[in-house]
Amino acid sequence: MLRYLAKRLAYYLVLLVAAVFLAYALASAALDPRAYFEEKHPRPSTAAVDRQLTALGINDRTPVVIRFGHWAEGAVLHGDLGRTIHDTSVNADFGRRIWVSLRLLVVGSLLGMLLGVLAGAWSAVRQYRISDRALTISSFVLLSTPVFLLALFLKNGAIAANQASGHQLINFTGYETPGLTGGLGTHLADWGVHLLLPTLSLSLTGLATYSRYQRGTMLDVLGSDYLRTAEAKGLTRRRALLKHGLRTAVIPMSTLFAYNFLGIFTGAVFTETIFGWHGMGEWFINAIRENDTNSVVAVNLFTAVTVLASGFLADTLHAALDPRVRG
Amino acid sequence: MSVDSPARAGRGRLVLTRLLAAPGVLIGGGTVLLLFLLAFVGPYLTHWSYTDIDYASLRQPPSADHWFGTGGLGQDVYAQTLRGLQKSLIIGLLVALLSTVLAGLVGACAGYFGGWTDRLLIFFVDLMLVFPGFLVITIVSPRLRSAGWLAFVVLLAAFNWMITARVVRSMTISLKEREFVRAAQFMGVRPLRVIWRHVLPNCASYLIVDATIAVGSAVMSETALSYFGFGVKAPDVSLGTLIADGTDTAPTYPWTFYFAAGLLVLFVLAVNLIGDGLRDALDPTADAARRPSRRVRDAARPLPGRRTDSPVPTVDEATA
């Protein structure tokens, strides 16, 4: 198992390096930081702009390979991701925003997976009953709604609910109430309320995806001989389902998890922007508008690492659950 | 997967029977047809065009004159929504077509030639999967401002084919061992011709279903990107830009938002219903007699709207 995982890890590292280089080259080619400085008032001289761009390491007159070399050297040796276009540290932004995003991503993806697996398994056991059909129809509708639209629907719903109740029932802007005083409990409650809508919009799609799959794999397992054997040997149905059924049915989900994470990240870009979270997604959109190359690359690095990490996690999970791949 | 000729007539009828028996396909197909009619005939039913501005009525609710009401500048929401629907439908169809062709070719070549061709292509596919296409399109889009919406279609297609390609690749690997492909090879048929005549037709049912679902996912990506201003740009409109315009006024002037949003969800839902029904009808492993256990095979099927596979090689591929 370790050898297998080491092989996967090596492959992912090669992918990561190639991906980051491509992102760097692409961002350098597509964005135009020179224009950002030249549009300033009073307009700086070309030499001044050049000096500024070189200091930031994003001068388009230096070949992109050399620029990438400098950037990669700083990133690998000192963990320094360069300077933003406002000459502040990318690391500072990165460090602040990563927690905001991870909070949303981790809670959203895990909640979606957990609820989806449970809902799917439950729906399979109750195949063709009203509850199963209702779940199927709602997951179809959810899968047909883009995440950004789902977030907007939830936001509008919250506005309507707030208006109907006459006071701020559901807070949906930002991740905390600024200047809130009170103990730890008040703060935690405040966090929870703010997390509610963004997490819902992220996890509902995941819930729909996982539940469809889990329902399918679970139905497969329900008709299997070994489950009947387990029951025939005296296990209760519940115990047989949990111990033998669910475990087998969850295995294919582990690969799905890796893939789904990509979708969750894209979704998070939308939800962060819509709900005013100052996370990686919002940073990305702003950085592109400001031609801030280094920040764009930093977000890409973050995505590549999280996607590959979730891929590796899925591999590990798969190897742990399925003895056939360990060899 | 293969269909020998005596069975072909029977299979056609079987597919048709199954299609007609599945209410999803009929409902979905009817809805898509109606939406196309609405998008392309609907604009002729009103004298407002999507660029017209009626200064006399700003943010008016739906009325006899403005069927879907008017926007903040006096735009006719009906004309705008239909124009947006047109754009979104065309983009969805084109992207699905392009990406399916690309996926079929790359996947079949990787699977058929094997060896280094396969390794290189799969590495490329993995590489493209590490980046959400959304990020790359967003980065590139400022540069494409002048190139118009066709460039946007190409970009969307360029990031929508990888997963399908992986599936086609694994299908090709198993098809390669089949007698008819072997026979063609031994008779000296050229590889590309074998792929075209024998491999791709045998992946056709998967590709058809996948293309259907790709229409839905393409429309979803298009609207999402346009919503943030990275896709279709003014003065042109798509459902995404309309939703973006209506977002702020949605609570007070719901007609500026919910017509576009509703049509978007309706269209994607209809397409997904068709895809789901087609999959049931075309699935060669399906046995009409085993109807009650049909759902059992849901496990092996991709989902509506989301295309499935891992962004990274799955275990069997890695160990192979």
In chain B, the residue whose alpha carbon lies closest to the alpha carbon of A152 is B247
Q: Which of A159, A252, A285 sits opposite B228 (nearest CB)?
A: A285
Q: Name chain A contacts of B131, Cβ cutoff 8 Å.
A: 19, 22-23, 300, 303-304
Q: Name chain A contacts of B273, Cβ cutoff 8 Å.
A: 140
pLDDT digits (tens, 9 = 90+) for A185-218: 777 777 778 888 888 888 898 888 888 888 888 8
pLDDT at B306: 40
Q: Shortest CA distance to A159 belongs to which of B252, B251, B247, B259?
A: B251
Token match 């009203």: residue? A130
Task: Measure in Å the smallest separation between the Cα of B261 and chain A Cα atoms.
Answer: 7
User: Is residue A75 a part of any domain in this protein?
Assistant: no
Q: Per the CB < 8 Å rule, is B308 touching A256? A: yes
Q: Per the CB < 8 Å rule, is A300 touching B297? A: no
Q: Give yes or no for residue A67 having a pLDDT over 90.
A: no
Return residues 273-302 of B near A (CB < 8 Å): 273, 293, 295-301
CATH of the domain at A298: 1.10.3720.10
Counting residues of chain A whose pLDDT is more than 90, the rounded percentage is 1
User: Is residue A214 a part of any domain in this protein?
Assistant: yes
Q: What is the mean pLDDT of chain A?
A: 82
Q: Per the CB < 8 Å rule, is A325 touching B251? A: no
Task: Measure in Å the smallest separation between the Cα of A264 and chain B Cα atoms.
Answer: 10
Q: Name, in order, each residue with C-beta under 8 angstroms of A222's C-beta and a sequence gap of 6 or more.
A: A124, A125, A245
Whether A235 contacts A243, CB under 8 Å: yes
Task: Measure in Å the smallest separation between the Cα of B90 and chain A Cα atoms.
Answer: 18
Q: Per the CB < 8 Å rule, is B130 touching A163? A: no
pLDDT of chain B, 320 residues: tens digit per residue: 444 444 455 677 777 777 777 777 888 889 999 999 888 887 888 777 777 777 777 777 777 777 777 777 777 778 888 888 888 899 999 999 999 999 999 999 998 888 898 889 988 888 888 876 777 888 787 777 677 788 888 888 988 888 888 888 888 888 888 888 889 989 988 988 888 888 888 888 888 888 888 898 889 888 888 888 887 777 788 888 888 888 777 777 787 788 888 899 999 999 888 888 887 777 655 443 334 444 444 444 444 444 444 334 333 333 33
Whether B35 contacts B270, CB under 8 Å: yes
Domain that holds residue A201: 90-321
pLDDT digits (tens, 9 = 90+) for A243-270: 888 878 887 777 777 667 777 888 888 8
pLDDT at A70: 80
**How would you classify residue A107: left for phi > 0, otherwise alpha for psi between -120 and 50, otherwise beta?**
alpha
Q: Per the CB < 8 Å rule, is A30 touching B250? A: no
Q: Give yes or no for residue A231 having a pLDDT over 80.
A: yes
Number of structural domains, chain A? Answer: 1
Q: Does B265 touch chain A (CB under 8 A)?
A: yes
User: Is residue A5 a part of any domain in this protein?
Assistant: no
Q: Per the CB < 8 Å rule, is A15 touching B311? A: no
Counting residues of chain A whose pLDDT is more than 70, the rounded percentage is 95
- Output the six-digit token pair for A313: 């996690």
Whether B160 contacts B214, CB under 8 Å: yes
User: Is residue A81 a part of any domain in this protein?
Assistant: no
Task: Burial-class residue A122 by CB neighbours within 10 Å (0-12, 13-18, 19+).
Answer: middle
Task: Measure in Å the smallest separation between the Cα of A78 and chain B Cα atoms.
Answer: 25
pLDDT at B311: 39
User: Is residue A163 a part of any domain in this protein?
Assistant: yes
Q: Name chain B contacts of A141, Cβ cutoff 8 Å.
A: 265, 269
Encoded amino acid at B76, one letter: D
Q: Does B170 touch chain A (CB under 8 A)?
A: no
Q: Give yes or no for residue A182 having a pLDDT over 80.
A: no
All structural domains of chain B, each given as residue ranges with its CATH number in brackets, are 70-284 (1.10.3720.10)
Whether B47 contacts B38, CB under 8 Å: no
ipTM of predicted complex: 0.79
Q: Shortest CA distance to B217 belongs to which of A107, A262, A274?
A: A262
Q: Per the CB < 8 Å rule, is A144 touching B139? A: no
Q: Shortest CA distance to A290 belongs to which of A96, A56, A98?
A: A56
Q: Name chain A contacts of B123, Cβ cutoff 8 Å.
A: 15
In chain A, the residue whose alpha carbon lies closest to the alpha carbon of B262 is A145
User: Is residue A34 a part of any domain in this protein?
Assistant: no
Q: Give yes or no for residue A239 having a pLDDT over 80.
A: yes
Task: Evaluate if pTM is beyond 0.90.
Answer: no
Q: Name chain B contacts of A311, Cβ cutoff 8 Å.
A: 310-312
pLDDT at B295: 41
Helical axes B115-130 vs B162-175, angle rounded to 10° = 160
User: Is residue A125 a part of any domain in this protein?
Assistant: yes
Return residues 105-164 of B near A (CB < 8 Å): 123, 126-127, 129-132, 134-136, 138-140, 142-143, 163
Whether B139 contacts A296, CB under 8 Å: yes
Pick from A20, A125, A149 the residue to mutate for testing the B interface (most B CBs within 10 Å).
A149
Pick from B123, B137, B139 the residue to mutate for testing the A interface (most A CBs within 10 Å).
B139
